[in-house]
Amino acid sequence: MLELTVEDWQRTLTVNTVGVFLAVKHTVPHFTQQGFGAILCTASVAALRANAGGVDYSASKAGVVSIVQTVAYQLYGTGVRINAICPGLIETGMTKPIFDRARGKGSDDRIGQINPTKRYGQPQEIGQMACFLLSDRASYVNGQAVPVDGGLSASHPWVFPRA
Protein backbone atom coordinates (compact mmCIF):
# COMPACT_ATOMS: atom_id res chain seq x y z
CA MET A 1 0.00 0.00 0.00
CA LEU A 2 2.76 2.44 0.89
CA GLU A 3 4.22 2.23 -2.61
CA LEU A 4 0.96 3.12 -4.37
CA THR A 5 0.60 6.61 -5.76
CA VAL A 6 -2.54 8.68 -6.15
CA GLU A 7 -2.19 8.08 -9.88
CA ASP A 8 -2.21 4.31 -9.29
CA TRP A 9 -5.42 4.66 -7.28
CA GLN A 10 -7.05 6.89 -9.88
CA ARG A 11 -6.19 4.51 -12.73
CA THR A 12 -7.53 1.48 -10.88
CA LEU A 13 -10.70 3.24 -9.71
CA THR A 14 -11.32 4.67 -13.19
CA VAL A 15 -11.14 1.29 -14.89
CA ASN A 16 -12.79 -0.89 -12.24
CA THR A 17 -15.32 1.38 -10.56
CA VAL A 18 -16.02 4.40 -12.74
CA GLY A 19 -16.20 2.11 -15.78
CA VAL A 20 -18.90 0.03 -14.09
CA PHE A 21 -20.77 3.17 -12.99
CA LEU A 22 -20.83 4.48 -16.58
CA ALA A 23 -21.95 1.14 -18.02
CA VAL A 24 -24.80 0.91 -15.50
CA LYS A 25 -25.76 4.57 -15.91
CA HIS A 26 -26.11 4.21 -19.68
CA THR A 27 -27.79 0.78 -19.60
CA VAL A 28 -30.47 1.47 -17.00
CA PRO A 29 -32.59 3.91 -19.07
CA HIS A 30 -33.01 1.35 -21.87
CA PHE A 31 -33.93 -1.46 -19.49
CA THR A 32 -36.31 0.63 -17.39
CA GLN A 33 -38.06 1.86 -20.54
CA GLN A 34 -38.69 -1.72 -21.67
CA GLY A 35 -39.68 -2.76 -18.12
CA PHE A 36 -37.20 -5.60 -17.66
CA GLY A 37 -33.54 -6.49 -17.88
CA ALA A 38 -30.59 -7.94 -16.05
CA ILE A 39 -27.27 -6.20 -15.51
CA LEU A 40 -24.19 -8.12 -14.45
CA CYS A 41 -21.07 -6.40 -13.16
CA THR A 42 -17.68 -7.96 -12.57
CA ALA A 43 -16.36 -7.54 -9.04
CA SER A 44 -13.90 -9.95 -7.41
CA VAL A 45 -13.44 -12.14 -4.38
CA ALA A 46 -11.03 -9.33 -3.42
CA ALA A 47 -14.12 -7.20 -2.75
CA LEU A 48 -15.28 -9.72 -0.15
CA ARG A 49 -12.12 -10.90 1.63
CA ALA A 50 -8.66 -9.56 2.37
CA ASN A 51 -5.48 -10.82 0.68
CA ALA A 52 -7.08 -11.54 -2.69
CA GLY A 53 -5.64 -8.42 -4.32
CA GLY A 54 -3.85 -5.16 -3.72
CA VAL A 55 -5.53 -2.46 -1.67
CA ASP A 56 -6.43 -0.31 -4.70
CA TYR A 57 -7.82 -3.28 -6.61
CA SER A 58 -9.74 -4.60 -3.60
CA ALA A 59 -11.23 -1.18 -2.83
CA SER A 60 -12.24 -0.66 -6.45
CA LYS A 61 -13.99 -4.02 -6.60
CA ALA A 62 -15.71 -3.38 -3.25
CA GLY A 63 -16.99 -0.21 -4.92
CA VAL A 64 -18.52 -2.35 -7.66
CA VAL A 65 -20.36 -4.43 -5.04
CA SER A 66 -21.65 -1.24 -3.44
CA ILE A 67 -22.85 0.07 -6.80
CA VAL A 68 -24.75 -3.18 -7.38
CA GLN A 69 -26.38 -3.16 -3.96
CA THR A 70 -27.32 0.52 -4.09
CA VAL A 71 -28.59 0.48 -7.68
CA ALA A 72 -30.72 -2.61 -6.97
CA TYR A 73 -32.77 -0.45 -4.60
CA GLN A 74 -32.76 2.54 -6.93
CA LEU A 75 -34.32 0.23 -9.53
CA TYR A 76 -37.07 -0.76 -7.09
CA GLY A 77 -40.16 -1.95 -8.96
CA THR A 78 -38.74 -1.40 -12.46
CA GLY A 79 -38.33 -5.07 -13.38
CA VAL A 80 -34.59 -4.53 -13.81
CA ARG A 81 -32.15 -6.63 -11.79
CA ILE A 82 -28.46 -6.02 -11.12
CA ASN A 83 -25.88 -8.38 -9.66
CA ALA A 84 -22.13 -8.81 -9.48
CA ILE A 85 -20.05 -11.88 -10.08
CA CYS A 86 -16.97 -12.19 -7.86
CA PRO A 87 -14.38 -14.45 -9.46
CA GLY A 88 -11.63 -15.99 -7.41
CA LEU A 89 -8.32 -17.03 -8.95
CA ILE A 90 -9.06 -17.73 -12.60
CA GLU A 91 -6.48 -18.38 -15.29
CA THR A 92 -6.83 -15.30 -17.51
CA GLY A 93 -4.60 -12.74 -19.17
CA MET A 94 -4.64 -10.67 -15.98
CA THR A 95 -3.42 -13.56 -13.83
CA LYS A 96 -0.98 -14.94 -16.41
CA PRO A 97 2.09 -13.68 -14.50
CA ILE A 98 1.02 -15.60 -11.39
CA PHE A 99 0.57 -18.80 -13.37
CA ASP A 100 3.77 -18.30 -15.37
CA ARG A 101 5.79 -17.69 -12.18
CA ALA A 102 4.38 -20.82 -10.52
CA ARG A 103 4.97 -22.93 -13.61
CA GLY A 104 8.52 -21.58 -13.84
CA LYS A 105 9.18 -22.72 -10.25
CA GLY A 106 7.47 -26.07 -10.82
CA SER A 107 4.85 -25.22 -8.20
CA ASP A 108 1.83 -24.87 -10.47
CA ASP A 109 0.18 -27.81 -8.67
CA ARG A 110 -0.11 -25.49 -5.65
CA ILE A 111 -2.12 -22.79 -7.45
CA GLY A 112 -5.54 -22.57 -5.81
CA GLN A 113 -4.61 -24.97 -3.01
CA ILE A 114 -6.22 -22.83 -0.31
CA ASN A 115 -9.66 -23.26 -1.89
CA PRO A 116 -11.76 -26.17 -0.63
CA THR A 117 -11.82 -27.38 -4.24
CA LYS A 118 -7.98 -27.41 -4.16
CA ARG A 119 -7.74 -25.83 -7.61
CA TYR A 120 -8.02 -22.59 -9.53
CA GLY A 121 -10.96 -21.73 -11.74
CA GLN A 122 -11.45 -21.69 -15.47
CA PRO A 123 -13.00 -18.81 -17.44
CA GLN A 124 -15.93 -20.98 -18.56
CA GLU A 125 -16.92 -21.47 -14.91
CA ILE A 126 -17.36 -17.71 -14.60
CA GLY A 127 -19.24 -17.68 -17.89
CA GLN A 128 -21.65 -20.35 -16.68
CA MET A 129 -22.51 -18.32 -13.58
CA ALA A 130 -22.86 -15.20 -15.71
CA CYS A 131 -25.32 -16.99 -18.00
CA PHE A 132 -27.35 -18.07 -14.98
CA LEU A 133 -27.42 -14.61 -13.39
CA LEU A 134 -28.52 -13.02 -16.66
CA SER A 135 -31.21 -15.63 -17.29
CA ASP A 136 -34.82 -15.77 -16.16
CA ARG A 137 -33.85 -18.67 -13.87
CA ALA A 138 -32.21 -16.04 -11.65
CA SER A 139 -35.30 -13.81 -11.64
CA TYR A 140 -35.29 -13.62 -7.83
CA VAL A 141 -31.56 -12.85 -7.52
CA ASN A 142 -31.00 -9.12 -7.22
CA GLY A 143 -28.41 -6.85 -5.61
CA GLN A 144 -26.06 -9.75 -4.89
CA ALA A 145 -22.32 -10.25 -5.10
CA VAL A 146 -21.96 -13.91 -6.03
CA PRO A 147 -18.55 -15.47 -5.43
CA VAL A 148 -17.30 -18.06 -7.89
CA ASP A 149 -14.08 -18.86 -6.11
CA GLY A 150 -13.86 -22.55 -5.28
CA GLY A 151 -15.11 -21.81 -1.77
CA LEU A 152 -12.29 -19.40 -0.87
CA SER A 153 -14.64 -16.74 0.50
CA ALA A 154 -16.60 -19.26 2.57
CA SER A 155 -14.15 -19.07 5.46
CA HIS A 156 -11.25 -17.27 7.01
CA PRO A 157 -7.81 -18.27 5.76
CA TRP A 158 -6.52 -21.51 7.19
CA VAL A 159 -3.66 -23.90 6.70
CA PHE A 160 -4.75 -26.98 4.83
CA PRO A 161 -3.93 -30.33 6.38
CA ARG A 162 -0.96 -32.18 4.94
CA ALA A 163 -1.64 -35.69 3.71
Q: What is the CATH number of the domain that holds 96?
A: 3.40.50.720
Q: Is residue 160 part of a domain?
A: no
What would the pLDDT profile of 2-36 be if each residue is shown by its tens digit? 899 999 999 999 999 999 999 999 999 999 999 99
Domain hosting 105: range is 6-150
Q: Is 120 in the active site?
A: no
Q: Is residue 16 part of a domain?
A: yes
What would the pLDDT profile of 79-131 be if each residue is shown by its tens digit? 999 999 999 988 888 888 887 888 888 887 777 777 888 888 999 999 999 99
Catalytic residue among 57, 73, 76, 140: 57
Q: How confident is the model at residue 59 (pLDDT cuts 50, 70, 90)?
A: very high
Continuous segment of H or E residues that includes residue 66: helix 55-74
Model's pTM, two decimal places? 0.89
49 DSSP 8-state letter: S
Q: Is residue 1 part of a domain?
A: no
Residue 160 contacts residue 115 (beta carbons within 8 Å)? no
Is 90 exceeded by the pLDDT of residue 51?
no
